[in-house]
Structure 1
């Protein structure tokens, strides 16, 4: 790889062993990817704090937080002092809810270790957002900005909706990027790789959040890891808002490996279909109509058999304030069924706003729990006795059966709230 003089100095140890280890990792990583060089980044989203038992055990045996961060953040068996971060670095979600650890299976030892890790990460310069949706709580990179982000639904939103540039990174590469403000220049950092390859033409209106989740699931499964551009000859009846684009991207990155998409006339690099395609012909033109919509709905709900619902999970990706408002309107004056549990996940920064606006009080008065920092697929936790769950996220419907062995029904937020209050799934394609 071609390194600048500054990068060579970091790699040679000028700034200490921590920076040197980070540069060594990035150089090895970049060479494996055939990247010609590194690119400067000032925006990192990764897993900075530690909460897993294996990390706690390692820290206790090997000499503390820096030793554990060397091992799990820099892939270094040699413990080095971790320097303060050079890039603005934002911590993503955890494996448990810090406000309700008992519901997500965290014991007291895990909580104590996490709190120490949290303090340590903050001293290094980490922004403790604890969410899979950093763009909802202040991290909004600009068009063309080079980033180093983890988390599939965050990456696809960053690339597509914001027009910034990132690949789906891992814990080690983001940690090294935080220390060096560098990341390999490859993949979606390169302008030529950001053009659409497949054209998806809509023969049906896509308006609701459910519609966008269905379309995302279809698109991801169809194009896999390629770049689609979505177009409607008759135009979209409603420009998709943040929750709809969030659910579309989360679904597309779950059923497939989509990291970047374009919507003609909506997303920043696709004012026209031709612009999105880079004036080239698409590899394939794909139609999405009523038949495809119905088939996708049936595929997502293929694991749903039992109509009695023990669990309703909302907030994957984490709910926005608007979505919490909607849920509180649907819940106000009602009660969650005695045989069902309702968990709603949101960033803790948004929960603070929900507290101020009275949404938390409404949700809790109905018998629901407003949770933060994690979700059921990350924490791998559902209420005891859960056999069948209802979700308004195609991503969560995709993951829950495989990860936790529970049946999952996918539908609208209103259908999920109805299931929570009646204990029965009565939803259907609208």
Structure 2
């Protein structure tokens, strides 16, 4: 098993110190064993504990090794697919249910922060602004906002003209935008560490550096193998998402997902004049190109991220394109340096929606958050725990009767490169 190294990131540099969670030694027995200690697994752990069950969580490496510790910290009520598309493909009632789930995911995150007093997460409901790079993109975003308000009753959407977007972002390359004021941002690694500390405080067993190498079923139990022993549990929950290929235990889930590299850079602290001028409301921002980039300001730095970075993890090739894109949007950065560069994987599903359900009568899973999982992954983890304990839950299209396999899985890397290249060509042509 080849574990990636914890990235040298802005999040890891600024997160508070955390108590060690050593790997277990010997055999363990519990009601529920959770494979994966990210947002999904920890929210599920708290939900199982709420049902009065004994829970043990096993993370393959250090806390925050995977996507929960590497992401951009953008909290939004959305899926990769638009609600208009979901209505067209699955009907308006289903689109309404999915819209309700999206909003519920943000509410669930906020309730969790309040419940466990996770102040270190630094959550702020500052809103998210979608910045249109062409008139056609602006028209589409405005029409979508109108549809959401009129058809699904969405509130908190505001259409901004060119001048308003320029004034807010400090750059004049956008023709307008749509602001969603329900969205927010946080320090993702600090949030995750808070979930771990809260779990430990209420008696949930949490173990880092404890990779689960095998899962089997025997009689009425699930049996999980770790380097130091064996776990016997009445139920198991798999929450390994884009890192499901690390061990054979979760390879079945890995074959339903396409890992896609997401890279982030953070500048050095901006000079006072640029700090006052750029991203002055400290929201999260996205642009409308196919190779979508997002950006926000954290502690006087521009944090800029996007998908499609190629090359080895955290190599110069993984961030070179991203830095070029950042300086194209923000030419005034000039000689402002970059202090941090890191990358990791998001898990794409074939239909662009998260997947969750049961692999067997006693093994549940959740995965495939398509790069929009800061709020959604925790909510889905919570809801699958509700499902597995016989309580009411709401997952709509997310709940699957079976796990779909990715066609031509062995060639997934070639497909990712081809899609990335074609998107970049279309963006360059203004299509």
TM-score, normalised to structure 1, is 0.26
**Structure with greater helix percent:** 1
Higher relative contact order (CA 8 A, sep 6+): 2
**Structure with greater strand percent:** 2
Larger radius of gyration: 1
